[in-house]
Amino acid sequence: MSREDNDAKTFYVTTPIYYVNDAPHIGHTYTTVAADAIARYQRLRGGTVLFATGTDEHAEKVRRAAEAAGLDPQGFTDRVVASYYDAWQRMKISYDRFIRTTEDIHKETVARVFGELMEKGDIYKDQYQGWYCVPCETYLREDELVDGRNCPDCGRPVEEMAQDAYFFKTSAYGEAVMRAIENRPELVQPDTRRNEVLSFIRHGLRDNCVSRLNTGWGVPVPGDEEHVVYVWFDALVNYLTVAGYGYDDERFARLWPPDVQLVGKDILPRFHATIWPAILMALGLELPRIIFGHGWWISASGDKISKSRGKVVDPQAEVELLIEESGCTTDVATDSVRYYLLREVPFGHDGTFSSEALLGRFNADLANDLGNLLNRTLPLVKRYLDGEIHEPGPGAGALAEVAQSAVTRAEQGYAELDFRAMLQATWELLAAANKFVDQRAPWDLYKTGKKVELAAVLYDILDSIRIAALLISPVMPTVSEEIWRQLGLDSMGVDMSWDDCEAGGMPPGAKVRRGRPIFPRIDMDLVRKRVAQEARQEEEEEQQDMITYDDFQRLDLRVARVLDADRIEGADKLLKLTVDVGEEQPRTLVAGIAQQFGPRELIGQHVVIVANLEPATIRGVQSQGMILAAGEKEPLALIVADRECEPGEKVR
Ligand code: ME8
């Protein structure tokens, strides 16, 4: 499988494949937009690119979500995957391959890889005794748990597991993986994460459990239908499936190894920087060139402007916000959110998403610096040069040096995945061009009849705008196209190409076309005033929702001691509790907390219940009251008495 010459290499960039228990969120969008910018940049440079993303469907949590929705897993994932197609279309994600792990070709590849490693003795059968975090789909050792029962990554309770299982000999590759990461600083990035990874490996790698008991969802272990391949093993193999491993040698030779693999920081140390390279080493395959772990977005507390109104930022809601506040088009709003994501924080760092900052950047960077430069220059070309770009003539090229420096730094930014630096470099060019307009005052040149100078100055400005449009086009594809159109380049048949980044490339004869301003300014004072008014209104409405003390008194809240707890057959979320409320007979309650709390941890707890709730029959069990728990969507913590008190004690 030798590669004949290096030019034949297709640039292969990947995102993780995402779980489909839910619709896409800001994290998915962030990685995918960044990968999209990389792919578009490579294409702009004339390279052949394969940009792959997709969905990870064989997770236990996906099976459970399907069950909760009353659908079979395949029907459920078929439905949710549509929300990914839709989101990526809206975000202008130019993927070349969307892989679903439920595709036959992928299932065959997983079975092939698993089989190969079994044959080599790198996968063996043993007993698994330990813990499993369903939300993270991670096997955990006792000593990794927090407080003896919670997942170290997400903090949620884990489930105990004891079963026959297959193991991958990660431990045998620990040393080699560590050496590879140490010797090739490019392999795992950024540096801070690389250090985290190295210390994770130094702590010692144990063999990983790579199977689960077959519950009818997943890829069966070759030759042993009682087990299915562990979802993370299944998922990592997607990068091989996409590349044609084992079924299309020619494709594989063109694609392997991946050039850039983007992942979030949480799935770097345990998976992409250890098990993944270990699997590749076991298969005798080259490691990826770059695996980059980016940071996380959190939403700014007290961000009143946000349309998402929650802890989780919804990129689509932010797009709508921009449209509403500025009146820009959907395409421009989408490009602006893409810009904000890659401009606001250095790639690799965590960031705080704030709608106010998004609107602020829209005004300052996009409307003022970029939009205004275009809007003030095009009318001058119309007025003084009949709308046509002239030969640069003597004196042109005043901005060439600044432009050259911006291009060099942008190239470096793209190569190092430092999107922020790349955009900053471009904005320095825009700032220089804006300053140049002020200094050279084309209107004065016109008035004083300095025609040659006037043509040269306008040429330089438009040329800078053209270069800036090229530099940002991987991030803001539609905006760049619109600028291209307004500069008259599309009607000249000039395609965008990185080769044309050099100053002086603006073709004379292009006829500029004024359009609507791309970035209409947002009146931030008005936005703030309206938001404050909405907040006041909300507060008033909340006050109207107040209950009186008498209303509250009607609730009979009591302490109850849990005597027994049991799962209810066929109902994943429900537990049947027997509680002592200080009455002659214990009561029975049905509580929807089975996914967060195990029966054993409940017995003996002093919980709080609503004792005068009308009884209801749930799944054939009469429930006489309701247990109180914190958590809006799902129960996160039970309300318990923090010191000794008698069952039946009133809570007031
Ligand atoms: O992990 N900010 O899938 P997933 C930035 N199926 N990134 C975030 C984020 C945030 N607030 N929240 C989550 C999986 N992420 C596996 C991958 S690949 C072989 C298998 C990132 O749907 C997170 O770091 O949970 C991860 O990269 C992705 O979004 C979530 O993926």
Look at residue 8 in the predicted model and tell me its pLDDT: 80
Question: pLDDT tens digits for 84-128?
Answer: 999 999 999 999 999 999 999 999 999 999 999 999 999 999 999
**Buried-exposed string 276-298: b where 16+ CB fall within 10 A, e elsewhere:** bbbbbbbeebebbebbbbbbebe
Tell me what percent of the residues of the chain surpass a pLDDT of 70: 97
Same domain? For 487 and 361 the reply is yes
Q: What's the 264 CA to ligand 1 centre distance in angstroms? A: 6
Same domain? For 450 and 562 the reply is no
Q: Which of 14, 20, 29, 30 maximizes ligand 1 atoms within 8 Å of its Cβ, making it the mutation to test the pocket?
A: 30
Tell me which residue has its CA closest to atom 4 in ligand 1: 18
The answer to whether 297 and 357 are in contact (CB under 8 A) is no
Does the pLDDT value for residue 415 go beyond 60? yes
Does the pLDDT value for residue 2 go beyond 50? no
Whether residue 153 has its Cβ less than 6 Å from ligand 1: no
Same domain? For 485 and 617 the reply is no
Look at residue 412 in the predicted model and tell me its pLDDT: 98
Lowest mean pLDDT among 126-130, 225-229, 274-278: 126-130
Look at residue 446 in the predicted model and tell me its pLDDT: 96
Taking Cα atoms as reference points, which of 193, 282, 358, 258 lies closest to residue 15?
258
Looking from the CA of residue 298, the nearest atom of ligand 1 is 11
Same domain? For 497 and 561 the reply is no
Give the Cβ contact number of residue 184 at 10 Å: 12
Look at residue 535 in the predicted model and tell me its pLDDT: 83
Angle at 136 between CA 628 and CA 345, to 5 degrees: 100
pLDDT band at 303 (very low <50, low <70, confident <90, very high): low
Look at residue 639 in the predicted model and tell me its pLDDT: 93
Judge whether 160 lies within some domain: no
The answer to whether 353 and 26 are in contact (CB under 8 A) is yes
Look at residue 539 in the predicted model and tell me its pLDDT: 83
> Three-state SS string across 514-554, please?
CCCCCCCCCCHHHHHHHHHHHHHHHHHHHHHCCCCHHHHHC
Whether residue 266 has its Cβ less than 6 Å from ligand 1: yes
Whether residue 318 has its Cβ less than 6 Å from ligand 1: no
- Of 501, 527, 561, the one marking the end of a domain is 501
Does the pLDDT value for residue 234 go beyond 70? yes
Whether residue 239 has its Cβ less than 6 Å from ligand 1: no
Judge whether 449 lies within some domain: yes
Number of domains in the chain: 2
CATH of the domain at 597: 2.40.50.140
Q: What's the 25 CA to ligand 1 centre distance in angstroms? A: 9
| HSE-up (13 A, CA, CB side) for residue 595 | 17
Question: pLDDT tens digits for 540-566?
Answer: 888 887 888 888 999 999 999 999 999
pLDDT band at 21 (very low <50, low <70, confident <90, very high): confident
Same domain? For 393 and 484 the reply is yes
Pairing of strands 616-618, 621-623: antiparallel
Question: pLDDT tens digits for 43-91?
Answer: 999 999 999 999 999 999 999 989 888 999 999 999 999 999 999 999 9
Whether residue 297 has its Cβ less than 6 Å from ligand 1: yes
Q: Rounded distance, CA 62 to CA 77, Å?
A: 8
Judge whether 585 lies within some domain: yes
Whether residue 28 has its Cβ less than 6 Å from ligand 1: yes
Does the pLDDT value for residue 311 go beyond 70? no
Q: Rounded distance, CA 100 to CA 117, Å?
A: 23
Judge whether 557 lies within some domain: yes
Q: What's the 35 CA to ligand 1 centre distance in angstroms? A: 14
Lowest mean pLDDT among 270-284, 407-421, 618-632: 618-632
- Of 485, 501, 517, the one marking the end of a domain is 501
Judge whether 562 lies within some domain: yes
Same domain? For 576 and 484 the reply is no
The answer to whether 10 and 254 are in contact (CB under 8 A) is yes
Tell me which residue has its CA closest to atom 8 in ligand 1: 27
Same domain? For 385 and 480 the reply is yes
Tell me what percent of the residues of the chain surpass a pLDDT of 90: 79
Taking Cα atoms as reference points, which of 336, 324, 299 lies closest to residue 92?
336
Q: Which helix (H) or strand (E) holds 130?
A: strand 123-133
CATH of the domain at 460: 1.10.730.10
What mean pLDDT do residues 469-478 have? 98
Does the pLDDT value for residue 7 go beyond 70? no
Tell me which residue has its CA closest to atom 31 in ligand 1: 18
Q: What's the 19 CA to ligand 1 centre distance in angstroms? A: 8
Same domain? For 494 and 564 the reply is no
Judge whether 602 lies within some domain: yes
Cα dihedral 63, 68, 72, 74, rounded to 10, equals -50
Does the pLDDT value for residue 364 go beyond 80? yes
What are the backbone angles phi and psi of residue 367, rounded to the nearest 5°?
-70, -50
Judge whether 575 lies within some domain: yes
Boundaries of domain holding 410? 352-501
What mean pLDDT do residues 197-220 have? 94
- Of 501, 536, 564, the one marking the end of a domain is 501
Same domain? For 598 and 463 the reply is no
Average per-residue pLDDT in the chain? Answer: 93
Judge whether 405 lies within some domain: yes
Does the pLDDT value for residue 569 go beyond 50? yes
Q: Is the dihedral of CA 469, 474, 477, 479 positive or negative?
A: negative
pLDDT band at 3 (very low <50, low <70, confident <90, very high): very low
Q: Rounded distance, CA 241 to CA 250, Å?
A: 13
Tell me which residue has its CA closest to atom 15 in ligand 1: 27
What mean pLDDT do residues 23-45 have? 96
Look at residue 50 in the predicted model and tell me its pLDDT: 98
Same domain? For 476 and 587 the reply is no
Look at residue 531 in the predicted model and tell me its pLDDT: 85
Same domain? For 440 and 575 the reply is no
What mean pLDDT do residues 382-398 have? 92
Look at residue 1 in the predicted model and tell me its pLDDT: 37
What number of H helices and E strands is found in the chain?
Answer: 22, 25
Residue partners of 619: CB distance under 8 A and separation at least 6: 568, 570, 571, 574, 590
Same domain? For 360 and 416 the reply is yes
